[in-house]
């Protein structure tokens, strides 16, 4: 493995059954595009820890890293700085052609793409919604005012008359039929 190279050639490790090695790999994670928004990823110290263990039939590759993700809040679009601890594990078969299951897209000819694996680990380590705070009210859909900074002066939204009967059921006191 060359310095700055984000690949790991498993054959070159010369591991025997049950042996494990831990490597530090320089990785750079490309920006993520989620929900139409760009999120930049900075890997802590630019490195990921990769543990490779020789097992029956192949290798177990486990990647761990810490990163910070920068991008907009899903609700109000303010900048969010989100720390992420990511981990990803892949089984790499010794003979992929005889393997019935799908082989990882991050492995080609027993060479692991650590940068691709790191990117997937970061994506899987993210919450469902990236928010500046759990109770972020977002922005007004009509005037665009950031509701966490100020209230908007938009009039209340008029209820579609087709839903009026359902609204009456919601407003009816309990026990009244």
What tens digit of pLDDT does each residue of 40-74 get?
Answer: 999 998 889 999 999 998 899 999 999 999 999 99
Any idea which residue has 């692991």 for tokens? Answer: 112
Residues of the chain with pLDDT under 70: 1-5, 96-101, 175-177
Q: Going by C-beta distance under 8 Å and a sequence separation of 6 or more, which residues neighbour residue 122?
A: 29, 32, 41, 65, 67, 69, 84, 86
Q: What pLDDT does residue 177 have?
A: 61
**Where along the chain do its domains lie?**
7-125, 137-177
Q: How far is CA 103 from the centre of its chain?
A: 21
Q: What pLDDT does residue 99 have?
A: 63
CA atoms of 157 and 154, how far apart (whole Å)? 8
Global pTM value: 0.77
Q: What pLDDT does residue 162 have?
A: 85
Q: Tell me how far apart the 2 most distant CA atoms of the chain are, in Å.
A: 77
Q: Going by C-beta distance under 8 Å and a sequence separation of 6 or more, which residues neighbour residue 83?
A: 66, 67, 68
Q: Tokens in use for 61?
A: 């590759």
Q: Going by C-beta distance under 8 Å and a sequence separation of 6 or more, which residues neighbour residue 103?
A: 92, 93, 96
Q: What pLDDT does residue 160 have?
A: 82
Q: What pLDDT does residue 48 have?
A: 93
DSSP state of 100: S
Q: Tokens in use for 103?
A: 């082989």
Any idea which residue has 């059954």 for tokens? Answer: 17
């Amino acid at each position: 493995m060359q310095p700055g190279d984000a690949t790991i050639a498993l054959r070159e490790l010369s591991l025997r059954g049950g042996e494990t090695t831990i490597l530090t790999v320089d990785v750079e994670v490309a920006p993520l595009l989620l929900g139409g928004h760009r999120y930049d990823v900075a890997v802590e110290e630019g490195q990921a820890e990769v543990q490779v263990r020789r097992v029956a039939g192949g290798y177990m590759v486990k990647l761990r890293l810490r990163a910070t993700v920068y991008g907009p809040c899903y609700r109000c679009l303010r900048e969010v700085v989100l720390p992420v601890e990511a981990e990803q594990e892949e089984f790499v078969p010794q003979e992929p052609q005889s393997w019935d299951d799908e082989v990882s897209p991050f492995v080609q000819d027993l060479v692991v793409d650590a940068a691709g694996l790191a990117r997937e680990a970061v994506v899987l380590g993210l919450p469902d919604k990236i928010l500046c705070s759990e109770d972020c009210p977002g922005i007004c859909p009509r005037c665009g005012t950031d509701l966490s900074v100020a209230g908007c002066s938009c009039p209340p939204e008029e209820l579609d008359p087709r839903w009026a009967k359902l609204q009456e059921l919601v407003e009816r006191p309990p026990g009244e039929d």
